Amino acid sequence: MGGGMTIVERTQVFLLPDLGEGLSEAEIVEWRVAVGDVVTVDQSVVEVETAKAVVDVPCPYAGRVVTLHGAAGEVRPVGQPLITIAPLDGGDEPAGHATYREEERAGSGNVLIGYGTGHGTATRRRRRPRLAVAPEPADAGPTGGTGAASGAMSRDPAAPPAALVISPIVRRLAREHGVDLDTVRGTGPGGVIRRADVEAALTAPATRLAAVPDPQVGSAPAGDGDVIVPLTGVRKVIADKLSRSRREIPEVTIWVDVDATGLLETRAAINAATPDAPVSILALLARICLSGLRRFPQLNARVDTEAQRIVQSAGVHLGIAAQTDRGLLVPVLRDAQRLTTAELAAELAATTAAARAGSLPPARLTGGTFTLNNYGVFGVDGSTPIINHPEAALLGVGRIVDKPWVVDGQLAVRKVTQLSLTFDHRVCDGGVAGGFLRHVADCVERPALLIAAV
């Protein structure tokens, strides 16, 4: 009995770490280990999905797995037990236990232990198709629920096999929209249900489950045919951040129409000279913004309300607004001012692709100092965008279209776009904001000015 007590005392419980700004929970996607497995320091033990990304979580302890806290599909709060590790039999201290990250010794709650430390990457195993994990039957509502709305253990043995769902995003989409996964035909390999299958099922009323009123919501009940979309996951994060921005930041938006013909011609000339490294319009606009921020560093800042001060950042951590299947994300290019235009183009392409694939770590989605938003891709001319809190400014770019324009006193058809700058009036006045926007507009119209400024 004394030996058993010793083992319990030396058991290490790894809590779910803080996975990034504003993230208070994560859904378990897949365990990489099982009870009884031996793990090493920094070995990835579980894949989780947050409101911003899907990430592997490494464990800072070495030893044998005693307990896995939570099953696939379960949401765990930050700071709650994730996995329990015991020392190997016969060892006083698990090998490598004393070497776990300095950040953990320091008690930092903001560090994802082992993430990106360069101590090797665990081999990623192919994810196996599994049955959708659903709420307990007690939560299924008065109808009892089927498929995604009832527990797998309550299924009638004579019923057809449960739907194959691999992606937690698909399961969440079905749960939020009340789609019975058992009625959805999967078009993926082996009949796996994909996101497109669920979205297609949304148009078929027969696949929708009865909506269960939320007793915590004080609004009037939904009418027949209404679609209830819970404010959870990435939508909740977006809503909270934008609401905070509107509450705290006294923002002002100014705009100007510009002739982008010269910018398009410059891009064509660059790409003709370097066909193996094409440059996008977004990359050129990013380069112009970096030039403007060097002239007007007041906009590359944030307001520290607690300390009552304005903090101007030494580097430009450029955020790029990207629309994804999971909502609007703003991946960040750190120290973007150090990149050449070609490097900017390559990094922008890789970053936006990773954001849309959901493979960016949470650290790449926070810490921006200025945001560039190309909403012209949606076919709109202008906007009054909300600042990405706690940044101080955001430049929006509308679509580029043919419009009549006066050139040297003569009417001509030119490529015209609208630039909008939303800025925090606490960090500067209109003279600085107008100077920045005018510099950007002049460089768009006459790219030679950009070359002269860099």
Q: Which two tokens stand for residue 371?
A: 């945001």
Pair of tokens at residue 401: 């279209």
CA distance 394 to 128: 42
332/351 Cα distance (integer angstroms): 8
Residues in Cβ contact with 445 at an 8 Å cutoff, skipping those fewer than 6 apart: 258, 259, 260, 262, 263
**C-alpha dist (Å) from residue 42 to 33, 35, 46, 57, 120:** 13, 17, 12, 9, 8
- Dump strand ranges (E) for 361-453: 370-373, 393-397, 401-407, 410-424
Determine contact, residues 56/122, Cβ cutoff 8 Å. yes
Question: Measured at the alpha carbon of residue 11, what is the angle toward residues 10 and 12, in degrees to the nearest 5?
Answer: 110
Helix (H, G, I), strand (E, B) or coil at 321: coil
Quote the Cα angle for 160-166-170, to 5°. Answer: 95
Q: What is the β-pairing status of strands 12-15 and 401-407?
A: unpaired
Strand pairing class (393-397; 332-333) = unpaired
Residue 164's identity, in one-letter code, is L
The pair phi, psi for residue 185, each rounded to 5°, is -90, 120
Q: Taking a C-beta distance cutoff of 8 angstroms, is the pair 64, 117 a contact? A: no
Q: How far is CA 251 from each of CA 376, 388, 420, 434, rounded to the nearest angstrom?
A: 21, 11, 12, 14
Structure token digits, residue 376: 């012209």
Q: Which amino acid is at 81?
A: P
Nearest CA-CA partner of 65 in 48, 50, 51, 45: 45
Cβ(237)–Cβ(23) below 8 Å: yes
On the 0-12 / 13-18 / 19+ scale of CB atoms within 10 A, 216 is exposed
**d(Cα 199, Cα 182) in Å, to the nearest integer?**
14
**Cα–Cα distance measured from residue 290 to residue 302, given in angstroms and rounded to the nearest whole number:** 17
Residues taking part in catalysis: 425
